[in-house]
């Protein structure tokens, strides 16, 4: 969708001509780009309603509500669109307040909090049905040299040495909700290869850490850094909170498990490409009070630490109806 803006009215009060307004994420894409990846990029290219007001569509990925990564990516894209200088995001801190409605668009209201000599700050509020469902603050910085260090990347097999996940057996697929079936059959815009795969339908108990290679399923060619950052914001919400369920032998796919992101932090350290393999190394230091905390480090395949994440989320285990019925029968 092409973004548009109405020019200011003149002294006579007559309306100005409607003119296209450039958006930093709108860029020519390879003509052969497949529908799944191009749909995600279109999702991040918001419709501009006013200088600081944007509208984004939602995509059904099989979840009951809007996927948190979608809101993160769109909020960052909205903030990026208000920058007058070529500054890049270095951090984003967000809170999820209400579940998003997949069937309706989301409006993003950007506050240009500060534009300093080296840094810019934006606050973004996401609104749906007249209520705030999400807000975040994002900070941007000019490229600047300085002292560098980083922790090393874990020693793991290369993505080419890890077999892609096998398809879900037909008899198992038939037991899943229709939305989940559609998502699994179609496949998402990102490819994931787990270093230590886990059966999410029958999860065993194991220590709370994992490593996952991921990348866009197709090469995008030359696109702006801002778009790579928005794509990574989207992908960073996958597999993060789930790591906190590992010691408990539960997963999001189980009908009696309720999970939702409460907050999300993302730091960008070094340049990267979302269509090249990245390693997501995740651990969960604590889970308590129906909340789990997870932390992630994202490396490129050369071992450079390109981003870090942290998230706390709701993990609520409801009584299993089948177990409850069985217990009641025995009584």
What's this model's pTM, rounded to 2 decimal places?
0.87
pLDDT surpasses 50 at 161: yes
**Which domains are present in the chain?**
20-142+178-330 (2.40.160.210)
Summarize pLDDT for 105-115 with one digit per residue, the tens.
Answer: 999 999 999 99
Catalytic residue among 70, 128, 254, 261: 261
Residues 6+ apart with CB under 8 A from 149: none
Summarize pLDDT for 162-213 with one digit per residue, the tens.
Answer: 998 888 888 878 877 776 677 677 678 999 999 999 988 889 999 999 999 9
Predicted local confidence at residue 124, as pLDDT: 98
pLDDT surpasses 80 at 309: yes
Query: Regarding beta strands 257-261 and 119-128, do their DSSP bridges make them parallel or antiparallel, or are they unpaired?
Result: unpaired
Helix or strand (DSSP H, E) at 296: strand 291-300
Predicted local confidence at residue 98, as pLDDT: 96
Q: Is 237 a catalytic residue?
A: yes
Q: Is 84 a catalytic residue?
A: no
Catalytic residue among 80, 237, 254, 275: 237
**pLDDT tier, 238 (very low <50, low <70, confident <90, very high otherwise):** very high
Predicted local confidence at residue 322, as pLDDT: 58
Q: Is 143 a catalytic residue?
A: no
Query: Would you say how long the chain is, in residues?
Result: 331
Summarize pLDDT for 3-62 with one digit per residue, the tens.
Answer: 333 323 333 333 333 333 445 565 555 557 788 899 999 999 999 999 999 999 998 777
With b meaning 16 or more CB within 10 Å and e meaning fewer, what string describes 23-62?
bbbbeebeeebeeebbebbbbbbbbbbeebbbbbbbeebb
């Amino acid at each position: 969708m092409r973004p548009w803006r109405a020019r200011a009215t003149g002294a006579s009060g007559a309306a100005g001509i409607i003119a296209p307004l450039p958006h930093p994420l709108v860029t020519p894409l390879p003509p052969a780009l497949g529908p799944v990846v191009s749909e995600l990029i279109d999702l991040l290219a918001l419709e501009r309603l006013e200088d600081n007001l944007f509208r984004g569509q939602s995509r059904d990925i099989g979840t009951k509500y809007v996927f948190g990564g979608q809101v993160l990516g769109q909020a960052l894209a909205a903030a990026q669109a208000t920058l007058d200088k070529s500054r890049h995001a270095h951090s984003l801190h967000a809170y999820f307040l209400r579940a998003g409605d997949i069937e309706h668009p989301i409006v993003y209201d950007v506050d240009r909090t500060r534009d300093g000599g080296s840094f810019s700050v934006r606050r973004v509020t996401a609104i749906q049905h007249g209520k705030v469902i999400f807000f975040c603050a994002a900070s941007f910085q000019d490229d600047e040299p300085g002292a560098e260090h980083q922790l090393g990347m874990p020693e793991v097999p290369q993505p080419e040495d890890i077999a892609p996940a096998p398809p879900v057996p037909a008899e198992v697929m038939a037991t899943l909700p229709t939305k989940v079936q559609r998502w699994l059959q179609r496949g998402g815009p990102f490819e994931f290869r787990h270093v230590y795969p886990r059966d999410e339908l029958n999860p065993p108990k194991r220590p709370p850490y994992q490593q996952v290679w991921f990348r866009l399923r197709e090469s995008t060619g030359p696109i702006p850094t801002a778009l790579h950052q928005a794509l990574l914001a989207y992908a960073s919400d996958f597999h993060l909170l789930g790591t906190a369920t590992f010691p408990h032998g539960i997963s999001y796919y189980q009908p009696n498990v309720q999970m939702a992101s409460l907050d999300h932090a993302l730091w960008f350290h070094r340049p990267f490409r979302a269509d090249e393999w990245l390693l997501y190394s995740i651990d969960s230091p604590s889970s308590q009070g129906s909340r789990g905390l997870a932390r992630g480090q994202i490396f490129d395949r050369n071992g450079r630490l390109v981003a870090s994440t942290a998230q706390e989320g709701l993990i609520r285990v409801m009584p299993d109806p089948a177990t409850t019925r069985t217990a009641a029968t025995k009584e």
